[in-house]
Amino acid sequence: MSRTSHRRRWPGDALWAWLCAGCVALSLFMLATLLTLLTVKGLGHFWPATLDELTLRSGEQMIGQPLREAPMPTGSATERLYFTGNRELTGADWRWVGVDEIVSAATPADVIRLERSPWGDFIGRLIALELDGERLTGDAAFDRISQLLALPPSERPGELVLLSPSGRGLVQPLSGVNTFVAPNALSIGEKTAIWGQGVWRFLSEGPRAANTGGGVWPAIFGTLLMVILMSVIVTPFGVLAAVYLNEIAHQNRLTRLVRIGVRNLAGVPSIVYGVFGLGVFVYGVGGSLDQWFFDDALPSPTFGTGGLLWASLTLALLTLPVVIVATEEGLARIPDAQREGAVALGATRLEMLTRIVLPMATPAMLTGVILAVARAAGEVAPLMLVGVAKLAPQMPLDAEFPYLHLERKFMHLGYHLFDSAFHGDDVEAAIPLVYATALLLVLIVLVLNLTAIFLRHYLRRQRGES
């Protein structure tokens, strides 16, 4: 008589299944919401927004970009925040206007917006372009300005004659203009092209106006360079430590204690590693190097202060447990028959490790390294103590010998995000760049994690694993 076994289904099985599915759906929803918020708020900043020309009940004329509305403190009406620019004329770039104070609103096509250095944005009208004794107006002035802005700032002749909404005139040298746009007169295609140019400038230029304008290229470069150096340092140490623990060391109580210690190190707060790096690497090792090799430069420190080298070493120490654990787990999954077969065929212990075991553990090693890279790319707290800077006057990598300057400070996306959000003079101007920088940092970490997954899958397929 055949017997059929059936798994007993408890009444709560369906409930637990739905609960798990609901948690997964909620997690995906939260991730999608985060990415959507960062994308809309960050990338939307570069879109040429429409400018409104308002006539207030008092008879005053103003032009600005509407941003958001909020109830007044009395709760009886609402007010709207406008970006008005013209800081040198009005003393502020932003203005709250009561909605009931607005008599009329229009979007005239001749309104322009300039991004300038050092006075920030100008919003108003263009009267003329004065160029070598010639005065251009209208479309001829617009076309000529577009051509001149393609030149380096030091090579741009001419001046712009501008008119503010209050009727005050202003002369602006063209050498101080970064962008020039008439957003109300643009088509969707033209706005898209300008949006793309704005995103590219954000990725390729340096910061301006105390990190409330410009781009983040030095921060991107510093982040990637630090991550590369950290990876070069942490990979051999992590892999060799894992090989020793799993393949060479006797499996006894001491080995188990070491494993527990390594796993506990992964949970130590990152700021503790920063304090360690400051005390040991910067003041200890760096101070000794200054006394031995850079005595002529003292008391100005060379290596006895924060820099790229100490930041990379600190983050290598921070991510070392991740590489060790991932590599050791990969080694533990390799069947003992592979090792025994290699030894039985006459291979030495070293040949067995280098030709059989380590190639089979390569997916796990790569996963550990790239997960370490993903964590290091987002760390901020330890870097504040060992080398990151708000503005780095010189890049760590340049054409001057020895080309890679490990002692120099550098910029980092995470710290740039922190500094822009909390230490900027103009919080309202920094908010869109904070969103854009956060989106860039999330995308970098996401790409690194996806790279780990695809590399592991590719290597497993190469070896015929499922």
Mean pLDDT of 112-124: 88
Query: What's the mean pLDDT in 217-234?
Result: 90
The pLDDT tens digits of the residues spanning 13-49 come to 778 888 999 999 999 999 899 989 999 988 988 999 9
Tell me which amino acid residue 144 is: R
In which residue ranges of the chain is CATH 1.10.3720.10 found?
217-462
The β-bridge relationship of strands 94-98 and 102-106 is: unpaired
For the stretch 318-335, pLDDT in tens is 999 999 998 998 888 888
Percent of all residues in the chain with a pLDDT value above 90, rounded to a whole number: 30
Query: What amino acid is encoded at 82 in this protein?
Result: Y
CA distances from 424 to 209, 211, 331, 419, 434 (A): 9, 7, 49, 7, 11
What mean pLDDT value characterizes the chain? 86
With bands split at pLDDT 50, 70 and 90, how would you rate the model's confidence at 463? Answer: low
Q: How many CB atoms lie within 10 A of CB 424?
A: 18
449 closest CA partner among 362, 338, 374 = 374
- Name the more confident of 405 and 11: 405
What CATH number does the domain located at 217-462 have? 1.10.3720.10
Distance CA 117, CA 51 (A): 21
Q: Could you report the per-residue pLDDT of 65-116, keeping only the tens digit for each?
A: 998 888 887 767 889 999 998 888 888 889 999 888 999 999 999 999 998 8
Specify the pLDDT at position 10.
56
Give yes or no for residue 1 having a pLDDT over 70: no
pTM, to two decimals: 0.84
Residue 11 predicted with pLDDT over 80: no
In the predicted structure, residue 374 carries a pLDDT above the cut 70: yes
Instruction: Please confirm whether the linkage preceding 218 is cis (ω < 30° from 0).
Output: no
Distances (CA, A) of 465 to 326, 360, 363, 462: 18, 11, 11, 8
Q: Which two tokens stand for residue 204?
A: 């390729």
* φ, ψ at 91 (rounded to 5°): 85, -5
Asked if residues 117 and 213 have their Cβ atoms less than 8 Å apart, the reply is no
- pLDDT tens readout for residues 239-281: 999 999 988 888 888 888 988 988 888 888 889 999 999 999 9
Instruction: For 78-106, give the secondary structure using H, E and C.
Output: EEEEEECCCHHHHCCCEEEEEHHHEEEEE
* Segment 374-379 mean pLDDT: 84
